[in-house]
Amino acid sequence: MDEMNFDRIEDFLDGDLNQEQLKEFEQNLLDDSDLQMELDLHQEIDEAIMETDIMDLRSKLEAIETPTNPSKKRKLKFLTKWNIAAASLALLIGLGSLMYIFNDKSSYSNDQIFSNYYKPYNVVVNTRSADATVDNILMSAVNSYESKDYRTALTLFKQILDKDSTNITSNFYSGISNIEINEYSKANKNFTRVIKHKNNLFIEQSEWYLGFCYLMTNEKDKALKQFHVIAQGNSFYKTKALEIINRLE
Q: Residues 42-54: what's their mean pLDDT?
A: 58
Give pTM, 2 decimals.
0.61
| Pair 88, 147 in one domain | no
* Within a domain: 101: no
- For residues 210 and 187, give the distance between their C-alpha atoms in angstroms, rounded to a whole number: 8
Q: Mean pLDDT of all residues in the chain?
A: 79
Residue 244 has pLDDT above 50, yes or no: yes
| Pair 68, 140 in one domain | no
- For residues 201 and 115, give the distance between their C-alpha atoms in angstroms, rounded to a whole number: 25
- For residues 114 and 211, give the distance between their C-alpha atoms in angstroms, rounded to a whole number: 10
Res 249: pLDDT: 79
> What CATH number does residue 131 fall under?
1.25.40.10
Model confidence band, residue 8 (pLDDT cutoffs 50, 70, 90):
confident
Contact 84, 45 (CB under 8 A): yes
% of the chain with per-residue pLDDT over 90: 44
* Within a domain: 23: yes
* Within a domain: 176: yes
| Pair 133, 227 in one domain | yes
The three-state secondary structure class of 6 is helix
Per the structure, the complete domain to which residue 58 belongs is given by 3-96
Residue 154 is inside which H or E element, if any? helix 150-163
Residue 147 has pLDDT above 90, yes or no: yes
Residue 126 has pLDDT above 70, yes or no: no
Domain final position from 96, 120, 152: 96
Residue 208 has pLDDT above 60, yes or no: yes
| Pair 127, 235 in one domain | yes
Q: Residues 142-147: what's their mean pLDDT?
A: 94
* Within a domain: 200: yes
Residue 151 has pLDDT above 70, yes or no: yes
The three-state secondary structure class of 88 is helix
Res 123: pLDDT: 85
Res 25: pLDDT: 78
Q: Residues 80-100: what's their mean pLDDT?
A: 55
| Pair 119, 91 in one domain | no
Model confidence band, residue 74 (pLDDT cutoffs 50, 70, 90):
low
| Pair 85, 132 in one domain | no
| Pair 224, 156 in one domain | yes
| Pair 79, 153 in one domain | no
- For residues 127 and 134, give the distance between their C-alpha atoms in angstroms, rounded to a whole number: 9
Alpha helices in the chain (DSSP H): 3-14, 19-31, 33-48, 53-64, 70-94, 98-103, 110-117, 132-146, 150-163, 168-180, 184-197, 203-216, 220-231, 238-248
Query: At 57, which amino acid appears?
Result: L
Instruction: Quote the number of domains for the chain.
Output: 2
| Pair 116, 239 in one domain | yes
| Pair 166, 46 in one domain | no
| Pair 244, 138 in one domain | yes
Q: Residues 236-240: what's their mean pLDDT?
A: 90
Query: At 216, which amino acid appears?
Result: M
- For residues 121 and 200, give the distance between their C-alpha atoms in angstroms, rounded to a whole number: 16
| Pair 132, 190 in one domain | yes
* Within a domain: 104: no
Domain final position from 63, 96, 129: 96
Residue 22 is inside which H or E element, if any? helix 19-31
* Within a domain: 103: no
Residue 102 has pLDDT above 50, yes or no: no
* Within a domain: 188: yes
* Within a domain: 228: yes
Domain final position from 71, 96, 121: 96
- For residues 49 and 39, give the distance between their C-alpha atoms in angstroms, rounded to a whole number: 16
Res 223: pLDDT: 96
Residue 167 has pLDDT above 70, yes or no: yes
